[in-house]
Amino acid sequence: MIIEVASLEKIFRVHRRQPGVRASLRGLARRDYDTVRAVEDVSFTIEAGEVVGFLGPNGAGKTTTLKCLAGLLHPTSGSVRVFGHDPARRERAFLERITLVMGQRNQMFWDLPAMETFLVNQAIYRIPEDEFRRTLEDLVDLLALTDLLTKQVRTLSLGERMRCELAAALLHRPAVLFLDEPTLGLDVNGQVAVRSFIGDYSRRTGATVLLTSHYMADVTALAHRVLVIDRGRLRHDGELQALVEATAPYRLLRLTLSEDVPLSALSHLGDLDCPVDGQSVVLRVPRADVTRVAAEALATLPVADLAIEEAPIEDIISAVFAGG
Amino acid sequence: MGEVAALTSAYRGLLRVAVVQALTYRAQLVIWLLSSLFPLIMMTVWLSVVDQSGPAAGWDRSDFISYYVAAAVLFHLTTGDLAWNWDRDMRSGDLSFRLLKPVSPVHHHLAMDIGLVSVTAALLVPVALVATVVLDSLRYPIGPGTFVLFLVAVVLGFAVSFAMALTFAMGTFWSTQTANLYYLWWGAGAFLSGWVAPVSVLPEPLQRAAHVLPFRSVLGFPLELLLGRLDAGQIATGFAVGLAWLVGLIVVQQALWHRGIVRYQAVGG
Amino acid sequence: MSGLGRYLRLLRIFWANAVATELEYRVNFWSNAFLSLFWLVWAAAGIGVYFRFTHAVRGWTYPEMLVVVGLFFAINGLRQAVITPNLARISEYVRLGTLDFLLTKPVDAQFMVSFRNVRIYSLLDPVLGLGLVAAGMTSAHRRLTVGGAATGLFFLACSIAILYAVSLALMSAGIGWVSSEGMDDLVQGLVETSRLPVALYRGVVQTALTVVLPVAFLTTVPAEALLGRGVGKAGLLAPVVAVISVALASAWWRRALRSYTGASA
């Protein structure tokens, strides 16, 4: 067992401040605090080599949990163990085996070429020269960094920078990767590149990966197991497929029609997901019936284009929350 | 033992990038060097004063010139960017990333400051040496022994200055106003360090304060050593005061650091 | 609506925004106000050291010198309040395309670029600085005559105009040729030398600060007028230099703008 979290709780005190000059003045003397329970009674364990996705809306407690695991936050109560270490003590043996990547945050030397950051990390993590060369070669290969190494970081595009960021974070071959929204803000190509790299990396090295993301595709592509967190509580822990089927027992059938069709011709195929927009229609179809309904639609309707999609992650999550 | 090897390795990498970084920010470097204008402005006024009314507190033209020229150089050898850099790290959240490295953020910043000082030294010291040889007004009448002591005093000055900034930087765990507080401290210290004027031309009460506070170690003490104005007893006292402050500041800083980290982990990074 | 009225209204909107934003952080405000006062006392005390050894340096007594320091604070405060936050952003405007937006607005681009941002904390510096001027005048036993005040204000206006021209010239350079980061520090270096009356500098430096760089006009000339010390030839020159430098800077600005739009078209 690499990661053990038992009854984790994290409470913040935040300063409450009313708008207005008078309230600001009063705030100088006396402050009102609100208690925010960012994480409550969260327990789970993760085995070596697992790739686990964290799902939840903004402010659900994903990042707080991740920071507790990385040792940046001290739990209010409960216990966290990573390789048997208490992360908050930030022992060297612990720090040398983990890494944290945050999307849209930069931990590289902004005005220097990426290579400089890599060299500093080599020194800080005491990576022997030949191992450094080998790892770097691999990473340059996998992430297509060849042309980027000698460019100043600030001149890189967001996607290029994220790839360099990942390389910098992985040079010391950490056994555990904490990835907080690693694809945030990237275009589709960038998302795919980062996603497939993370998958490859965990398969090749057996690294354990904990990943938070807004993008369902990140999670579907990488994680077999998901932890769903809402308002600080763990709502689901298990296989992704089970979560999707249990909470979204339907899929979406997106039809583009070449001519107008009366609503009655559609309604027997499935529920309309949203109002008909011109000749574009989205139907909710029970998971088991998707193939049959799609075939029927193609046979009976003037279909120009047809796509089968999973329900958006927000819908699935809100279904979980409604059920929880 | 392993700890020492790890630090040595980390410093090799950090110092290298610190130098590269200082050289990359060439414009900032030039602007940073522009702060040497201030002592030179102060100097010209003293020259006018001396021309009019004779030596001030035993300082003649050449004393003032030697003092302020050396001050303009030495300031860059003992003063780093730590207070500002740390504040920025705290605001941007970069401190979180540094905390995840197996080397303390303090070492990161110390290496950055050493890098900056090395680059400015490489630029300024040769110029100063040539000027000393060429210009008659620059007189540093000391032997090799005192010169070695001067070098030690410069290192001590850098250490005291870094320790002061670092101790104040710990305040960022509690308050967003820490940088301003440090500027106040530095501003008050500028009088007592010898930056505004040599300590011995200040009013008597200020002189007494300057001899027991840490500021003079950063600038005035090494400068007076270099000008050959101190006897053995004064030299010993100067080193003792500087060392005592260094140790004291490190003790306070360590205590604050441990509390600060716990607080940081409590409220979020 | 008349042109001037519209610009004043725009200025009010820009600056009211800045005031609201910065007052949100009251601690910041008080801390900066205190720091301003501290640096004022610091500057006054700093030059006080000389007067332990002499009554006057090159004809300037301590109270008279305080008038110059006060004016330096006023000018420097205006620089930090209005010039710094705008000048430093020029490169960013060009990089992010903000300048293109500004150019498509039916408002004079020079106005927008020069006055869009303000750092309100620094507006306290001119107030404190003028306070020091008053203190210096009082202890120099100079009665402020109507004529002295009028000429003093006139030369102060010239000095602000010159400073604005310098910064506009740098902004123009920032649009076309060089990075504007660090330019503010150049202006600061220039203003910094006006901490003391130019008479205190010697030889070439003094000539350079009067003839090459317009430092003498920033604080020395207004101070001499306020103190009723007779400004001499420099007094005649000040308005001329002000008008010429603003005209040159504006011309250069328009030229930079033309080459910018030409280049990006």
pLDDT at residue number A324: 46
pLDDT tens for each residue of B107-165: 999 999 999 899 989 988 998 999 988 888 888 988 899 999 999 999 999 999 999 99
Q: Give the nearest partner residue to A88 out of B10, B102, B265, using CB atoms.
A: B265
| 3-state secondary structure at position C213 | coil
Token code pair at residue C84: 């710094």
C201 at interface of B, judged by CB pairs closer than 8 A: yes
The band of B246, judged by pLDDT with boundaries at 50, 70 and 90, is very high
A71 at interface of B, judged by CB pairs closer than 8 A: yes
CB C46 within 8 A of CB C169: no
Residues of chain C with C-beta less than 8 angstroms from the C-beta of A28: 26-27
Whether C96 has a pLDDT exceeding 80, the answer reads no
Best B23, B95, B96 member to test A by mutation, with max A CBs in 10 Å, is B96
What is the total residue count of chain A?
Answer: 324
The reported pTM is: 0.80
CB A194 within 8 A of CB A186: yes
| 3-state secondary structure at position A94 | helix
Number of Cβ within a 10 Å radius of residue A260: 9
Whether C166 has a pLDDT exceeding 70, the answer reads yes
B197 at interface of C, judged by CB pairs closer than 8 A: yes
pLDDT at residue number A24: 53
CA distance B206 to B193: 10
CA distance C148 to C155: 10
A28 at interface of C, judged by CB pairs closer than 8 A: yes
Whether B45 has a pLDDT exceeding 60, the answer reads yes
Mean predicted lDDT score pLDDT of chain B:
90
Q: Are strands A303-309 and C60-61 parallel, antiparallel or unpaired?
A: unpaired
Whether B205 has a pLDDT exceeding 60, the answer reads yes
State the Cα torsion C69-C74-C79-C81 to the nearest 10°: 140
Q: Tell me the mean pLDDT in the region C162-185.
A: 78
pLDDT at residue number A18: 63
Token code pair at residue A36: 């925010």
pLDDT at residue number A79: 93
A24 at interface of C, judged by CB pairs closer than 8 A: yes
Q: How is residue A290 annotated by DSSP?
A: H
A21 at interface of C, judged by CB pairs closer than 8 A: yes
pLDDT at residue number A20: 57
CA distance B202 to B214: 17
Residues of A171-197 as b/e, b for ≥16 C-beta within 10 angstroms? Answer: bbbbbbbbbbbbbbebeeebbebbbeb
Q: How is residue A312 annotated by DSSP?
A: P
CA distance C230 to C232: 6
CB C36 within 8 A of CB C121: yes
Whether B22 has a pLDDT exceeding 50, the answer reads yes
Best B31, B32, B137, B206 member to test C by mutation, with max C CBs in 10 Å, is B31
Q: Give the nearest partner residue to A28 out of C23, C24, C26, using CB atoms.
A: C26
The band of C1, judged by pLDDT with boundaries at 50, 70 and 90, is very low
CB-based burial of residue C25 (10 Å sphere; 0-12 exposed, 13-18 middle, 19+ buried)? Answer: middle
Q: Shortest CA distance to A62 belongs to which of A162, A222, A180?
A: A180
In the block, tokens 């004393």 appear at B63
Whether C169 has a pLDDT exceeding 50, the answer reads yes
List Cβ neighbours of C1 (8 Å cut-off, separation of 6 or more).
C9
> In Å, how far is B20's CA from the nearest CA of chain A?
8
Pick the residue with more confidence: C219 or B217? Answer: B217
Contact: A25, C24; criterion CB under 8 Å? no
Residues of chain C with C-beta less than 8 angstroms from the C-beta of B203: 52
Strand-pairing partners, residue A46, are A3
Whether C264 has a pLDDT exceeding 50, the answer reads no
> In Å, how far is C29's CA from the nearest CA of chain A?
12
Alpha-carbon distance values, B36 to B30, B75, B132, C193 (Å): 10, 8, 17, 12
Contact: A112, B16; criterion CB under 8 Å? no
State the Cα torsion A195-A196-A200-A203 to the nearest 10°: 60
Residues of chain C with C-beta less than 8 angstroms from the C-beta of A21: 23
Residues of chain B with C-beta less than 8 angstroms from the C-beta of A72: 96, 99-100, 264-265, 268-269
pLDDT tens for each residue of B68-98: 999 999 999 998 889 888 988 888 888 888 8
CB-based burial of residue A203 (10 Å sphere; 0-12 exposed, 13-18 middle, 19+ buried)? Answer: exposed
> In Å, how far is C155's CA from the nearest CA of chain A?
39
Q: What is the CA radius of gyration of chain A?
A: 24
Residues of chain C with C-beta less than 8 angstroms from the C-beta of B27: 179, 181-182
Q: Shortest CA distance to A225 belongs to which of A213, A204, A203, A242?
A: A242
| 3-state secondary structure at position C230 | coil
Sites in chain A below the pLDDT cut of 50: 324
Token code pair at residue A27: 């705030």
A124 at interface of B, judged by CB pairs closer than 8 A: yes
Crossing angle (nearest 10°) for helices C26-48 and C62-78: 150
Token code pair at residue C210: 């009067």
DSSP string computed for A140-208: HHHHT-TTTTTSBGGGS-HHHHHHHHHHHHHTT--SEEEEESTTTT--HHHHHHHHHHHHHHHHHH--E
Q: Shortest CA distance to A21 belongs to which of C22, C244, C5, B149?
A: C22
Contact: B13, A72; criterion CB under 8 Å? no
Q: Shortest CA distance to A207 belongs to which of A174, A180, A183?
A: A174
CA-nearest residue to B36 within chain C is C189
Whether C115 has a pLDDT exceeding 80, the answer reads yes
> In Å, how far is A187's CA from the nearest CA of chain C?
19
Cα of C184 vs its chain's centroid, Å: 11
> In Å, how far is A157's CA from the nearest CA of chain C?
14
Q: Tell me the mean pLDDT in the region B17-29.
A: 80
Alpha-carbon distance values, C48 to B186, B191, C42, C44, C144 (Å): 19, 11, 10, 6, 23
pLDDT at residue number B230: 92
CA-nearest residue to B7 within chain A is A124
pLDDT at residue number B77: 93
